[in-house]
């Protein structure tokens, strides 16, 4: 438990922070007045032993794929009632999340619903959590997709469904493009297309679904882009520099990550003193995720994915210039911070449906697991009907 002793020592002895400006919530980032309450809770009230037991509640494994030890949760189906079909689902997280995002949704997805139950494979993406990071440049979303396709094959799944958000959605897009015979359906709560044109479009017009690009709305959109995408430019260019500081200070890591859980869950919560964190998550939930980043020292390796994905070498692959015939379902949370307009859906000619929620943000499985799980079932039901109608496979 030396790592816990070291963590508590760093938390207790952190340098005093500069006071926030008067009347400010999270508009300038994580509010300094929130530092001490969070540090106090993490140090004195967060039950490390109980949380460790909680985080180990699902079966977890490691296997070596292409030289990388890949960590994954694997919830296999036990006894399946008559009339219920068990189908494999690969679920992928993003940044600055982890497999922890899915803990509340896993029991819901492994409960038979409408004649279907899922056998879940939930990996830590390479460079995240307990999965190894690459040792040389080039591990972008498509390359991660190759690793995870091989993981699914190793586990005995020749064909499978995919669910992803954030980087998990981008990896899912790549897999659905490269492996159109193996991927039975792609359910995504963030259908991001990363060709050069839509990267610029997303950067300029994205941010919030409610902010459509109209002439009279350009100024607030541009303002929001300037205020909320700075992290992306840093991580896409110099992830190792910021990683040095964040891997040395748990308080810095906490502020950097929790600020994203505030603004990406509900942008308007920036005006609140605590960033609205207490409205959507418990402290234990958020610290669980922080613990995964701190214990594994993965903030640098996870952040490198931005640099790889935005590199000239990766864009030269042109993954999103090719359409995919894989049936797709889009889950669009009301407060999602990135909005892909309908014009970009030409990549997905078999877009089966779009669900627009009346609540929730970027971390939907974490924030509203019931809504998330219900929509996954809904999407897979549509995928199965698509295959049945097209006689493509027995799935």
The domain limits of the chain are: 2-390
Q: Which of 11, 17, 131, 158 is nearest to 72 (CA)?
A: 131
pLDDT at residue 222, rounded to an integer: 60
Spot the catalytic one: 103, 306, 314, 320. 306
CATH architecture assigned to 2-390: 3-Layer(aba) Sandwich (3.40)
| Torsion 341-343-349-354 (CA) sign | positive
> Is 166 part of the annotated catalytic residue set?
yes
Query: In a 3-state reduction of DSSP, which class is residue 150?
Result: helix
DSSP 190-244: -----SHHHHHHHHHH-S-TT----GGGHHHHHHHHHHHSHHHHHHHH-HHHHHH
> Rounded mean pLDDT of 171-181?
97
Question: Which of 93, 132, 157, 166 is an active site residue?
Answer: 166
Residue 162 in contact with residue 332, Cβ under 8 Å? Answer: no
Task: In whole angstroms, give the CA distance from residue 185 to residue 205.
Answer: 28
Considering only CA atoms, which of 218, 149, 196 is closest in space to residue 321? 196
| Residue 28 designated active-site | no
Confidence band of 1 (pLDDT split at 50, 70, 90) = confident
Q: Pairing state of beta strands 116-123 and 68-75?
A: antiparallel
Token couple for 201: 């479009």
Residue 201's Cβ-count burial label (10 Å; 0-12, 13-18, 19+) is: middle
- Given a cut of 70, whether residue 198 has pLDDT beyond it is no
Alpha helices in 48-140 (DSSP H): 48-55, 106-109
Please calculate the CA angle 164-262-32 and round it to the nearest 5 degrees: 145
Q: Given 71, 187, 266, 362, which residue is catalytic?
A: 362
Which 8-state DSSP code applies to residue 111? S
Q: Is the pLDDT of residue 213 over 80?
A: no
pLDDT band for position 227 (cuts 50, 70, 90):
confident
Q: 175: closest CA among 34, 357, 326?
A: 326
pLDDT tens string 69-84: 999 999 997 778 888 9
């Amino acid at each position: 438990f030396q790592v816990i002793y070291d963590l508590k020592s760093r938390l207790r002895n952190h340098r005093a922070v500069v006071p926030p400006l008067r009347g400010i919530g999270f508009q300038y980032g994580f509010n300094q007045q929130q530092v001490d309450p969070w540090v106090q809770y993490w140090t004195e009230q967060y039950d490390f032993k109980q949380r460790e037991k909680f985080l180990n509640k699902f079966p977890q494994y490691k296997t070596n794929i292409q030289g990388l030890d890949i960590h994954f949760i694997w919830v296999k189906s036990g006894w399946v009632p008559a009339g219920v079909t068990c189908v494999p689902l690969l679920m992928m997280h993003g940044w600055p999340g982890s497999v922890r995002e899915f803990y509340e949704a896993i029991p819901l997805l492994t409960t038979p619903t409408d004649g279907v139950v899922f056998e879940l494979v939930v990996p830590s993406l390479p460079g995240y959590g307990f999965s190894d990071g690459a040792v040389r440049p080039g591990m972008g979303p498509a390359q991660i997709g190759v690793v995870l396709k091989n993981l699914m094959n190793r586990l005995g799944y020749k064909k499978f469904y995919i669910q992803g958000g954030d980087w998990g959605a981008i990896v899912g897009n790549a897999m659905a493009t490269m492996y159109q015979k193996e991927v039975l359906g792609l359910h995504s709560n963030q259908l991001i297309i990363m060709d050069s044109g839509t990267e610029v479009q997303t950067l300029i017009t994205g941010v919030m679904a409610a902010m459509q690009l109209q002439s009279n709305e350009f100024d607030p959109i541009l303002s929001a882009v300037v205020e909320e995408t700075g992290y992306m430019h840093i991580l896409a260019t110099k992830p190792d520099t910021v990683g040095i500081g964040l891997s040395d200070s748990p308080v810095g890591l906490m502020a950097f990550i929790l600020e994203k859980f505030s603004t990406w869950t509900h942008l308007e919560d920036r005006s609140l003193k605590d960033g609205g964190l207490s409205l959507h998550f418990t402290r234990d939930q958020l610290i669980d995720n922080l613990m995964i980043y701190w214990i594994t020292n993965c903030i640098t390796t996870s952040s490198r994915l931005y640099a790889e994905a935005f590199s000239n070498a990766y864009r030269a692959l042109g993954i999103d210039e090719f359409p995919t015939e894989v049936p797709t379902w889009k889950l669009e949370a009301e407060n999602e911070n990135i909005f892909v307009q309908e014009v970009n859906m030409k990549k997905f000619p078999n877009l089966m449906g779009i669900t627009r929620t009346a609540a929730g943000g970027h971390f939907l499985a974490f924030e509203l697991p019931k809504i998330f799980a219900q929509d996954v079932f809904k999407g897979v039901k549509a995928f199965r009907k698509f295959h049945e109608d097209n006689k493509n496979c027995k799935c």
